[in-house]
Amino acid sequence: MYWDTQVTSYDIAEQMLDQMPVGIGIFALPSNELIAANNQFLAILDVYLERHWQQGKTIGHSLNEWLPSSLAEPLLVGFKQAAQQGKSLEFYNYHTTISENQVVYWNCSLEPIFDDTGRVTSILMSNSQITKQITTQAQLAEHHAIANQQYIVRANQRRQLEIIETVARSVQNSLDIETLGDNIVQTLDAYFTPLSIHLHRALPEKNALQLIAALQPQDGNADSFSYVHYDSFYYLSTAYKHHQALIRENLQTEAQQGIIPKHLPVVAAGGQGYICLPLWFNNYFEGTLTLVFLQPLAHDSIEIQTLTQCAISVAAALAHARLYTTVKQEQKRLRTIIDLLPEGVLLLDADGRISYINEAGVEIGKISAEEQIGLRAEEHPYASKSFHLDNQPTAPHDFPAVRALHGEIIHHQEGKIIRPDASACILRTNAVPLRSEDGIINGAVAIFSDITQEKSIEQMRDEFFSIASHELRTPITAMQGFAEILQMLTQQGNHLSTPRSIRALHGIIAHSQHLTRLLEDLLELSRIEHDLLFIHLKLHDIVLLILHVFESQKLITRQHTLTLVFDGLQAHDSLITTIDEDHFVQILNNLINNAVKYSPSGSTIEIGLHYNKEMPNHYRLWVKDEGIGIDAKEIPHIFTRFHRASNLDHSISGLGVGLYLVRELVHRHQGKVWVESQPGKGSTFYVELPFSHL
């Protein structure tokens, strides 16, 4: 410790002051002369002093002499203030720059020292260096700022992730494109509160984008965005072409510069930042996501980073929805096709339960789909109503679909079911197992058709052949018999003019005519079946044709009385119309022959023609008999091929073809044929044909 020579010192105090980490100096007033200072103080001073003032040379000298004025002045003001106020004065945390990169920080206090009279005679100045604290504090603040910065970055990242995750989640569970669009828009709106959001999906076949969900400005017009062609002036079409996000920092500026129209709704509503993200998924353009913000959008903004990430999941979701829709449509198309198939289609799931049956299947089985879906074979109404063709019951485990479920492939299995209305139905079924990609059977499909009619035609055809051969053989055998009689008679020297010979000759003629008619019918049948029946229309007098048929029938019909009735005209009138003569004769002959066949000897057969001038477009024929008649339930079938009524006496010959030919011929003349009949009382067959001169 250095003391002014006039100042008395105490050893202990001196030592204490020298050891103190604080610099202490005493300045006399009003001279501002440094009168005492400890080592610490002098060392501090030395930093600022010129060499010749260093190491205590300042003691006894006024502050103005040795301290640079920039430092001295504030201190002198402080001295004055402390002296005047009689209160200590503190300068905290002031700093001095020592060199370019060294700054020293101080805390300094000025303490007034009073004499006995209370006058301030000197100032005690204490200096403590706080550079370390200050730098530590600064470092701490810096660390704090960095941590804060990192915290903000992390918080932003966390939020960004949260948004991306929420968007991804919002699109996860929806495959319906509209719901999907609404979810996306709602989620983005909640996080970004933009002015507008538009989600478009691509329609590549139309080169256009279609709006699927939107958040519009109040007066926005969705229509103008609902369908945007790839070549339109909108930014979204540009974004698609460039494959990358299109960002406009401020639409308002662009509108002012005339780059975009001012009247665009988003511009008019004050939209600024704009981003359009083309949504690509696996090189497939799915659509665009466009957002307009009320604030400008910097290229490196968090919104852009987040939205770019979100776009990936939105594109994926749109792709899934698109594929799902395609698959659904394909399924629907297939369903429609299957529904319309004339064959019944039935699906069994892996558990053997019916999962689907098409309309034809329902129609064939006469049990509604609702009643069948979910049933297993053994629970099905047909479990106890199915039979093999030999009438042995078919066990449910033997049903074709059930067998297919166990891996069998069933071809053309025929069986019979008895339907709820008690009608029998013969089914032909094919069935195959359905397998998943790894080959495991996960269902079976059975395709079945109703072959009842086919079967009965088959049966009728078989019967027909046996009947036909019998029918053909009968007249031949008869003719052979008559010929043998003639041969025998001539060998005996008899003339052909004897009554026996003449009867034999008549027999031959009658049977050969019968044979001819049979063969004609068969020929006609075959022409119809091969679509070779042609109609040759010419003008004929119907009255004459009828008279001709009547006369020739009278010649061969000996057991019955034939009568002819003209209704609305006279026998000598003529009714000239276009008709195929041969077919007309065949129609009439077939009806008369049936009347002869199916009515007892001695009964009357009436042939009639009705023509009414008031209804000149048609004329009507009829053939009426007093025969066995036809049961009402047979009537709908007698005009079908090979059908013969079940109550027939089998000795009455016939092929079951005559009426079928009548109906075909009449239809080909644009006419109609029907019958009125009562069993045991007789039948009347009517034929109505158009009257025409051409």
Site residues (vs ligand ADP, CB under 6 A): 594-595, 598, 625, 627-630, 638, 643-645, 648, 654-660, 683
- As measured in angstroms, the least distance from the Cβ of 521 to ligand ADP is 8
Which of the 8 DSSP states describes residue 518? Answer: H
Q: Which alpha helices (H) appear in 288-344, and where do they start and end? A: 302-340
Does an H or E element contain 39, and which?
A: helix 39-48
Main-chain dihedrals φ then ψ at residue 657, nearest 5 degrees: -115, -30
3-state secondary structure of 465: helix
For the chain, the C-alpha Rg in angstroms (whole number) is 60
Find the shortest distance in angstroms from Cβ 598 to ligand ADP: 3
In the complex, residue closest to ligand ADP by CB? 654
Task: Give the separation between CA 534 and CA 528, rounded to whole angstroms.
Answer: 9
Distance, in Å, from the CA atom of 540 to the CA atom of 527, rounded to the nearest integer, reads 24
Q: How far is the CB of 458 from ligand ADP (least distance, A)?
A: 18
Residue 324 beta carbon to ligand ADP: minimum distance, rounded to whole angstroms: 59
3-state secondary structure of 551: helix
| Cβ proximity to ligand ADP, 316 vs 457, nearer residue | 457
Q: Which is nearer to ligand ADP, 247 or 467 (CB)?
A: 467
- 183 and 215 Cβ atoms separated by less than 8 Å: no
Q: How far is the CB of 468 from ligand ADP (least distance, A)?
A: 10
10 Å CB burial of residue 460 (0-12, 13-18, 19+) is middle
20 burial class (0-12, 13-18, 19+ CB within 10 angstroms)? middle
Rounded least distance, CB 433 to ligand ADP, Å = 47
CB of residue 526 to ligand ADP, shortest distance in Å: 16
Give min distance, CB of 519 to ligand ADP, in A: 14
Q: In what order do the strands lie in the sheet with 604-610?
A: 561-567, 604-610, 618-624, 682-690, 672-678
Contact, 416 vs 455, CB < 8 A? no
* Closer residue to ligand ADP, CB minimum distance, 583 or 643: 643
Phi-psi region of 17 (alpha: psi -120 to 50; beta: other; left: phi over 0): alpha
Nearer to ligand ADP, 33 or 471 (CB): 471
The smaller minimum CB distance to ligand ADP, of residues 588 and 630, is found at 630
**Shortest separation between residue 683's beta carbon and ligand ADP, angstroms:** 4
> Is the separation of the CB atoms in 68 and 54 below 8 Å?
no
Closest CA to 609 of 563, 546, 539: 546
Q: Which is nearer to ligand ADP, 543 or 630 (CB)?
A: 630
Q: Which is nearer to ligand ADP, 320 or 644 (CB)?
A: 644
Q: Which is nearer to ligand ADP, 299 or 633 (CB)?
A: 633
Say how far apart CA 187 and CA 190 lie, in whole Å.
5
Q: Please, which residue, 524 or 625, has the CB nearer to ligand ADP?
A: 625
DSSP letters spanning 184-213: HHHHHHHHH--SEEEEEEEEGGGTEEEEEE
Residue recorded with tokens 């369908």: 227
DSSP string, 674-694: EEEEETTTEEEEEEEEE----
* Alpha helices (H) along 492-537: 499-529
Nearer to ligand ADP, 380 or 643 (CB): 643
Neighbours of 465 (CB within 10 A): 12
Q: Do residues 671 and 619 lie in contact, with contact meaning Cβ atoms separated by under 8 Å?
A: no
Closest to ligand ADP by CB, 376 vs 637, is 637
Omega of the bond leading into 30 within 30 degrees of 0 (cis): yes
Q: Which is nearer to ligand ADP, 49 or 648 (CB)?
A: 648
Determine how β-strand 2-3 pairs with β-strand 33-37.
Answer: antiparallel
* First and final C-alpha spacing in the chain: 154
Minimal distance in Å, beta carbon 605 to ligand ADP? 9
Rounded to a whole number of angstroms, the minimum distance from the CB of residue 562 to ligand ADP is 14
Cα–Cα distance between 111 and 497 in angstroms, integer? 182
Q: Which is nearer to ligand ADP, 33 or 625 (CB)?
A: 625
Smallest gap from Cβ 467 to ligand ADP, in A, equals 8
Residue nearer to ligand ADP on the CB measure, 14 or 676: 676
Minimum Å distance from CB 661 to ligand ADP? 8
For CA atoms 14, 16, 19, 21, give the dihedral sign.
negative
Minimum distance, C-beta of residue 694 to ligand ADP, in the bound complex (Å): 31
Q: Does residue 383 sit in helix, strand or coil?
A: helix
Q: Which is nearer to ligand ADP, 291 or 645 (CB)?
A: 645
Nearest distance in Å: CB 679, ligand ADP:
9
